[in-house]
Amino acid sequence: MRDRRGVAALEMALLAPVLLLLVTATVDVVRYVSISLTLNRTAANVSDIATQFDKLRAGMTVVKGNEVGVLFLAATEVAQPLDLMAGGQVIVSSVANMGQGSRVMWQQQAGTGSAASHLGAAGGAAKLPPGFTQQPGDNAIFTELFYRFTPYLLSGPWLGNAGTSTTLYASAVYQPRLGTLTTLETGP
């Protein structure tokens, strides 16, 4: 008969790295889902807030309360505990069909990212999401969020930096309720 002492310790020694890997991967998946949900909620809230104004003013400094900067302050608060402005970018765009196809009427952005809007640049033809159409006279406010996500599991130097950060994207679209919001007011 063979001596079986120490088999459990050997099995645990072999399984411990696998269990640690699974726990770390689970943490990464939970963080990824949580951040994705936060970004989606933030995009929806920012678009919702924007469409409650009858007109918006250009400017990041909030003086009268109807500046576009209010939207970025809201994004920062809704996205807590994420540091959205340091780890990503928020782009708010007005897209309207004034009878000659959908165009990006204006676009404002804040944050440290350098991502370009999926809709295109202000003044140009809008690249609308699949299945989204606008009839002449329609207007919509799009909010796009970009956020750099770095997983714990694949970001270590022990894996050769195989898991550098990836950019998560979320967007939302709402129709203005009180005005067209096709232009940003300027001046005092």
Distance of CA 157 to the CA centre of its chain: 27
Of the listed ranges 11-15, 133-137, 143-147, the least confidently predicted one is 11-15
- Per-residue pLDDT of 158-188, as tens digits, reads 445 555 778 899 999 999 988 788 888 776 6
pLDDT value at residue 154:
56
Q: What is the average per-residue pLDDT within 53-62?
A: 79
Looking at the predicted structure, is the pLDDT value of residue 32 above 80? yes
On whether residue 1 sits in a domain, the answer given is no
3-state secondary structure the chain: CCCCCCHHHHHHHHHHHHHHHHHHHHHHHHHHHHHHHHHHHHHHHHHHHHCCCCCEECCCCCCCCCECHHHHHHHHHHCCCCCHHHHEEEEEEEEEECCCCEEEEEEEEEECCCCCCCCCCCCCECCCCCCCCCCCCCEEEEEEEEEEECCCCCCCHHHCCCCCCEEEEEEEEECCCCCCCCCEECCC
- Per-residue pLDDT of 113-140, as tens digits, reads 888 999 999 999 999 999 988 999 899 9
On whether residue 16 sits in a domain, the answer given is yes
In which domain, by residue range, is 20 found? 7-185
* Location of structure tokens 């640690």: 20
Strand partners, 167: 148
Structure tokens at 43: 């995009």
On whether residue 2 sits in a domain, the answer given is no
Q: How many domains would you assign to the chain?
A: 1
Would the pTM of this model clear 0.85, i.e. be above it? no
Strand partners, 96: 103, 139
On whether residue 14 sits in a domain, the answer given is yes
Between the ranges 41-45, 81-85, 151-155, where is the mean pLDDT highest?
Answer: 41-45
